[in-house]
Structure formats: structure tokens, C-alpha cells
A = this chain, B = another copy of it.
Amino acid sequence: MDARIGFMGLGIMGRAMAENILKNGHPLAVYNRTREKTALLADLGATVAATPRELAQASDVVIAMLSGPGAFADVLRGEDGCAAALRPGQVVVNMSTVSPADTREFSSLLVPSGARYVDAPVVGSKKPAEEGKLIILAGGDEAVIAGLEPVLLAMGSKVVRCGPVGSGSMLKMAVNLLLGIVLGGLCESVNFARKGGLDPAMVLEVLGDGPLGCGLFGLKGPMLASGIYQTQFPLKHMAKDLKCVLDTAYDTGAPVPGASTALGLYQAARDLGLEDMDAAAVMKVLETLTGR
């Protein structure tokens, strides 16, 4: 595939993903709001676009990895926005985590231009992004997604075709619903055991050895044992994603008692000032409530 790729959003995740696109030999243009972050990619051979519009003009496929729906709306709209330059046959791939409702709105905004929209949020954080091992949850036209696979597989180990536009976002919500519940539950279990006189490190080892043992425990266990919550996935994003789950569930009519309980904890953690720590810092809310 010699499609020209345009990539917007060079945060922790985006930069790693853009590098992997270059390494796989795709021609790449990049845009970032704060321009300094483009330098590293330019050194590796990427063209730098001054505006989202310029990026869209220079690309066949425009990929976005931004902080949320607001940031995506910003690059779409306005005089310098992407939307002003979109044309039939072009594809916009939004890999940011946004709600199914926002996804449907963004998609309909593109209709007049003739460009196609694909929502393709990812499972995995910094390390799999660097290693090109993300799981990519793609929603949109089957043929369009098939055409994107070469570039998507530069960033991920697997592309899941979820269904029509919005279904990638829906699946991402389902994944993060469970993430929020399991991480909260892990903290609850360890705190319960600690309060019952047990050694947290031993508890974590037993949980990891049994049928519940999973990659997440390897990532978060050391945080819970040490009480140091160096950020892998910020707590405020966990709260935001669970809020999005509740909003979506309100619309679809799915009961989400576990996500609702979990959001209560993450929201309290956020308001206690832990928002930029790792989501596992929700443990501190349980500790606060445990008292003596």
C-alpha cells in the first residue's frame, strides 16, 4: 500500500504509533498542536504539516490519536481544520477513545465531504504502543477497514472488525468498563485482606497464581504493594471512560451496577487530588474509608 498517511496527535501513545508507521515504510506527514513534538518524527523522515487542513490535503488516510472528543472536534473544524480539505475516497481514522455517540456525530459531519470515517480505538497502553502490539478495535465499512490493515498492523498485532461505525468505540467502552471494575475490585480485595491482618504482597501473589491472574495484576500489583502509583493510565481517564460507559448505558438501557459503583470510587479519588496518578491510586479512597 502506498497510501500517504497523515497522523495527528503526538502524545505518549501517538508518537510511538507514528514511529511504527514510519518504520514499516509508509510515507508519513504529521501534525501536532505544539509543534516541538514533531521534531523527532521529522528526524525519522516524516513531513510536518502546519495545520490539520494541510495534513488532510497531503494525505490519503488521516489518523488521529488525540486526548478526547473535544480535541478531535478542534482539529476537524474551523478555517485550518481538517474537514475543510477532506475529499471523496479519503479515510479518517479516529484512534482516540471517544463515546459511541460522539463517534456517530463525527461520522455524520464527514458525510458532505465524501470522506469515510472509521473509529479504531486501541487496547493497550505505552509499552504495546511502542512494540506495535496494540489491539485495534475498528468500526466502519468492511472494505475500508480491509484497505487500512497494512497501516493498522504497523501499529498493532491485531485488527478486530467490530461492525459499523461506532462499534469500535462501543467495544472499547465494554473493555474499559471491565477494566474499571477489575482494578477497583483488586484494590478492594487487597485492602480487605490487609485489614484482616494479611500481607498485601502475599495476597497479590495468590491472586496472580489463581484463575483470576492476568496481565493487569502484573502491572498494578507492584503499585499496590509499594503505595507508589507511577502513572501508566491516568486515574482521570479511568473516571472519564466510566462516565462515558454510564452515559452510553443510559442511552442503550444496559444495566451497569458494577461500573456505577466503580465510578463512585474513581470520581472520589479524582476529587481527592489523585487525578494524575495511575488509576490504581483508587486504593487510597478505600484506605481513607477504612479508618483505623
Residue numbers of A with Cβ under 8 A of B are: 100, 123-124, 135, 137, 158, 160, 162-164, 167, 170-171, 173-175, 177-179, 181-182, 184-186, 188-193, 195-199, 202-203, 205-207, 209-216, 219, 239, 243, 245-246, 248-250, 252-265, 267-268, 270-273, 285-286, 288-292
Contacts and interface: CB of A to CB of B under 8 A. Distances in A.
**A124, A160, A257: most-surrounded residue (chain B CB, <10 A):** A257
A181 B181 CA distance: 7
Given A177-B188, A181-B182, A253-B291, 4 more contacts: A177-B189, A178-B186, A191-B254, A288-B289
Contacts of A164: 197
17 contacts: A135-B206, A163-B199, A167-B196, A171-B202, A174-B193, A174-B198, A174-B207, A178-B186, A178-B188, A182-B182, A195-B252, A196-B248, A211-B214, A255-B264, A258-B258, A260-B263, A273-B292
Contacts of A177: 185, 188-189, 192
A182 B180 CA distance: 10
Contacts of A203: 171, 174
Contacts of A175: 189, 206-207, 210, 212
Contacts of A124: 210-211
B265 A250 contact: no
Contact of A135 (B178, B184, B209): B209
Per DSSP, chain A at the interface is helix
How many subunits of this chain does the assembly comprise?
4
Given A135-B209, A178-B212, A171 B188 contact: no
A130 to B, nearest CB: 15
A210 to B, nearest CB: 5
Given A158-B209, A259-B188, A253 B270 contact: yes
Given A206-B137, A261-B258, A290-B253, A245 B170 contact: no
A82 B125 CA distance: 49
A262 B271 contact: no
Given A214-B213, A215-B211, A291-B272, A196 B255 contact: no
Contacts of A202: 160, 162, 171
